Every structure is written in C-alpha cells, then in structure tokens.
C-alpha cells in the first residue's frame, strides 16, 4: 500500500505568491524559513577559487567533517569522531538516513504536535507510523519526559527539535536531559533536529549529544549559515550505526555537492558575519512581537530561537489555509498556514517567518495591521462567522 503523504501547503502559498509577483504585485515572503541573506563572503570567495581550479566529483571533505567535530567540542563539550559525521544534501536527506538506519516499516515514532510537516510525512512515506503528541503552552509547545513516559507501549523512537519549527521554542538543558534519561530507560531511540542551532535569543540551546551519545542528530548549513540553495547538511550517527549509514547514503544519495562542501568549510569560520544576521533576526522578532498584539494576535508561542512566530488566529478563522491565501491576495504578505504543522488545531494558527530584512518586516507590519484589524471587526460584527 502506498503511503498517504499530505502536501506541504506553504509551498502552495509560495507558488501563488510567485504568480502574483509575475503579475506585477509586490510580495513579502514570510512563508518559508529561508534567510534573505546569501552565503557568507568567505564561502563565496572559496567557491569561486574552487570553480576555477577543481573539476570536482563525488567526494566527502575530511576537513569539513573535522571542522564539524570541532564545533561540537567547542559549543557543546561533546567529543565525536569524524567517522560519525555524514555529509548530506541538506537536512532532509539526513532525516531520511536517520529514520531508515534505525527504524523499520511499521515502527511507531513519537513527535510533538505542532511540529515540522516533513517529520510526519517522511515517516509515512517510509511506511512508519507517526505518533503525534499534542503540546501546548503549558509545555512551551515541546515534548516532555512525562509525555514520553506515559506512552504505552513505548514507541521505537522520538523526534525532538529545539529550537522548534513552527514555534521557535527551546527545550531547556534540564528538560532535554530528562527526555534523554526517559528515552534511554525505555529503549526509545532519539533523533534530534538541531537545524536551528545558533539562532537563539537568550536561552542556551543544548545538543541532545550532551545527554545521549547514541542519539542521531540532523543539522544543516541552510539556516544559521545562510546557505539554503547550496543544499548541504550533515547527520551525526552513533558509532554502532556508522557502517549502515554509509551504505545507505552511498546507495540513496551518493555525496553532497563538492562545491558546497568547500564553501561550507569557509562558512564555519565566518561567525562575525553570521552573528550579524542573528542580530537582525532578533530585531525583526522584537518588532513583530510588539506589532502582533496591535493586530489582535496576542496568543503566540515564545520564539526563543529559529526565526518564526506561531500565532493563534482562532478568533478569526478555523481554516488557516484559506486565511493565508486571502491575506496574501489582499496585502501581498505570504505566510504559512498552521495546518501544515498541526492537522488537528492548525486551522486556527498561522506562522510568520521573520528571516527577511528589517525593512521588509516594517513594510509587512504596515500592510497587515489594518487588514487584521478589519478582520477582527468582521468577526465581532453581528451575524458574522468567527
């Protein structure tokens, strides 16, 4: 039986946004978690040199793997072997590799709801069963050790994400440690999506590897390193699974792009430039968090990291997809419908990405504020559906 995989509805919104642009409309793209900045200058210089001197081919950079190992030691105090690092064409293949390496068709894998749409759909595509755990404001929209302890029977695995998409919330180090201890006690394998590490605005972001050396970790150069189109990521695997991961990646994906690997190595030594991006995101977050209550959107998840705000629009609609399309057509601001991230409650939520320039954030606020106020008046008017 073929798996029933739902569409990524933000892509549908984005297609409409680009069609409106082709018609001459001005569109502000806040539908994807995609930095508006390009690769760091050092990465571009390195790539240009390689293009002029190296024919390239199938290859996995030992220097880049060693540099990633050093980052885990410097940032998290975790000692890894370069053999544990598998370079991939972005985080999505890394997730597929991790799931395929450790789970079998039919296995149950738990994850938070709301959560990244591809977790659920990738599990289904691989004939695995997603077990979505509703997570609300009481747990900062994150999984807890108590929820994992309550699962009966225990799942084969769990997917955790901190900072998370769509909420931007972070699991505290103590919370992550408790999750790791509970998972280990129940023989539950952990896959940690750490793609938004580096994009934080206060709380420390721990790696699951600080508490569970047998966890799998997915990461990417797309977010913090601002290299979306370069399609470069990595998977950290426990030593017990390195050979299996190597066999899978060689057959399913071959290698990451050689040019991207050279550029990625240079990007890892571009921290001042990258931290400048984080400062912009922090400013954008603050501007939106001040403006949203003035639009009538006062219930949001705490955006501790990443570059998203997940807002409750339940007083305005129960159909976030239609709502986002109307918002886009009326104002030219593209956003992501919450139903992507939560098939149960997501019709009452919307996700804003603030990974754009600050001037675009200010323009989006100017466009959306009167529009949302008008929708609020419509919802309160006698005879109007909320």
> Would 238 be classed as within a structural domain?
yes
Q: What is the CATH number of the domain that holds 162?
A: 3.40.640.10
In the predicted structure, residue 380 carries a pLDDT above the cut 90? no
pLDDT of residue 4: 74
Question: Do 352 and 370 fall within a single domain?
Answer: yes
Q: Is the pLDDT of residue 33 over 70?
A: yes
Indicate whether 149 and 292 sit together in one domain.
Answer: no
Picking from 50, 109, 187, 55, the residue whose alpha carbon sits closest to that of residue 64 is: 50
Torsion angles phi and psi, residue 303, rounded to 5: -80, 80
Query: Contact at 8 Å (CB) between 116 and 341?
Result: yes
Q: pLDDT tier at 382 (50, 70, 90 boundaries)?
A: low
Q: Do 114 and 181 fall within a single domain?
A: yes
Q: Please compute the mean of the pLDDT values over residues 14-40 and round it to a whole number.
A: 95
Contacts within 8 Å (CB) and 24+ apart, 293-302 = 294/369, 295/368, 295/369, 295/372, 295/373, 295/376, 296/372, 296/373, 296/375, 296/376, 297/372, 301/137, 301/140, 301/141, 301/166, 301/167, 301/168, 301/169, 302/140, 302/167, 302/168, 302/169
Q: State whether 303 and 355 are in the same domain.
A: yes
pLDDT digits (tens, 9 = 90+) for 233-289: 999 999 999 999 999 999 999 999 999 999 999 999 999 999 999 999 999 999 999
Range of the domain at 250: 56-269
Q: How many distinct structural domains can be found in the chain? A: 2
Confidence label for 386 from pLDDT (cuts 50, 70 and 90): very low
Q: Is the pLDDT score of 1 beyond 50?
A: no
Does one domain contain both 120 and 259? yes
The answer on pLDDT for 185 being more than 80 is: yes
Question: At which of 269, 291, 314 does a domain end?
Answer: 269
pLDDT given at position 2: 59
In a domain, 131, yes or no: yes
Peptide bond into 153 cis (omega under 30): yes
- Do 257 and 284 have their domain in common? no
Span 172-183, pLDDT tens digits: 999 999 999 999
Residue 218's nearest CA partner among 323, 124, 129, 98 is: 98
88 is a domain residue: yes
Whether 152 and 220 map to the same domain: the answer is yes
**Alpha carbons 258 and 17: distance in angstroms, whole number:** 32
pLDDT band of residue 54 (cuts 50, 70, 90) is confident
What secondary structure letter does DSSP report for 300?
B
Residue 385: inside a domain? no
Answer yes or no: is pLDDT of 384 > 50. no
Considering the domain architecture, whether residues 63 and 19 belong to the same structural domain is answered as no
Position with higher pLDDT, 84 vs 5: 84
pLDDT in tens, 43-53: 999 999 999 99
- pLDDT above 60 for 20: yes
pLDDT above 90 coverage of the chain, percent: 91
Which of 269, 297, 321 is a domain's end point? 269
Q: What is the percentage of the chain residues whose pLDDT exceeds 70?
A: 98
pLDDT averaged over every residue in the chain: 95
Asked whether residue 296 falls in the same domain as residue 353, the answer is yes
Q: How far apart are CA 313 and CA 15, in angstroms?
A: 23
**Same-domain check for residues 260 and 294:** no
Question: Which residues is 158 bridged to in the sheet?
Answer: 110, 190
- Residue at 4 is within a domain: no
> Quick one: tokens of 337?
């419908």
Q: Are 219 and 295 members of one domain?
A: no
Cβ(63)–Cβ(267) under 8 Å?
Answer: no
- Same-domain check for residues 215 and 311: no
297-336 confidence digits (pLDDT tens): 999 998 999 999 999 999 999 999 999 999 999 999 999 9
Instruction: Tell me, yes or no, whether 251 lies in a domain.
Output: yes
Last residue of a domain, one of 226, 253, 269: 269
Alpha-carbon span 172 to 160, nearest angstrom: 12
Asked if residue 380 is part of any domain, the answer here is: no
Q: Output the pLDDT for position 201.
A: 94
* Mean pLDDT across 123-136: 96
Would 49 be classed as within a structural domain? no
pLDDT digits (tens, 9 = 90+) for 188-245: 999 999 999 999 998 889 999 999 999 999 999 999 999 999 999 999 999 999 999 9
List all residues 6 or more positions away from 277 whose beta carbon is below 8 Å from its beta carbon.
35, 37, 224, 226
């Amino acid at each position: 039986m073929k798996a029933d995989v739902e569409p990524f509805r933000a892509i549908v919104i984005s297609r409409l946004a680009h069609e409106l642009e082709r018609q001459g409309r001005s569109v502000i793209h806040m539908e994807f978690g995609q930095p508006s900045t390009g690769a760091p200058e050092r990465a571009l210089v390195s790539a240009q040199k390689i293009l002029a001197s190296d024919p390239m081919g199938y290859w996995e950079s030992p220097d880049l793997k060693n540099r990633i190992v050093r980052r885990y030691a410097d940032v998290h105090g975790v000692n890894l072997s370069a053999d544990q690092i598998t370079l991939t064409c972005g985080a999505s293949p890394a997730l597929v590799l991790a799931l395929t390496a450790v789970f079998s068709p039919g296995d149950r894998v738990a994850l938070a709801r709301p959560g990244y749409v591809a977790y659920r759909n990738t599990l289904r595509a691989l004939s695995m069963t997603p077990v979505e755990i509703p997570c609300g404001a009481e747990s900062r929209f994150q999984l807890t050790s108590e929820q994992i302890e309550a699962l009966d029977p225990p799942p084969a695995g769990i997917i955790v994400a901190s900072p998370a998409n769509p909420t931007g919330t972070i699991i505290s180090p103590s919370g992550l440690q408790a999750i790791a201890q509970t998972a280990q006690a129940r023989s539950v394998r952990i896959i940690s999506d750490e793609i938004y590490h580096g994009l934080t605005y206060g709380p420390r972001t721990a790696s699951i590897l600080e508490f569970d050396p047998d966890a799998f970790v997915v990461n990417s150069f797309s977010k913090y390193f601002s290299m979306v189109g370069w399609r470069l990521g990595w998977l950290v695997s426990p030593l017990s699974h390195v050979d299996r991961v190597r066999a899978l990646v060689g057959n399913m994906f071959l290698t990451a792009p050689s040019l991207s690997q050279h550029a990625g190595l240079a990007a890892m030594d571009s921290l001042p430039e990258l931290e400048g991006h984080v400062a912009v995101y922090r400013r954008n977050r603050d501007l939106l968090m001040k403006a949203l209550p003035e639009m009538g959107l006062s219930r949001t998840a705490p955006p501790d990291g990443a570059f998203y705000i997940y807002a409750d629009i339940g007083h305005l609609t129960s159909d976030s997809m239609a709502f986002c399309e109307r918002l886009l057509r009326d104002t030219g601001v593209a956003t992501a419908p919450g139903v992507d991230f939560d098939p149960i409650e997501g019709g009452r939520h919307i996700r804003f990405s603030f990974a754009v320039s600050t001037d675009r954030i200010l323009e989006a606020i100017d466009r959306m504020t009167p529009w949302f106020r008008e929708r609020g008046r419509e919802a309160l008017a006698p005879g109007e559906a909320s």
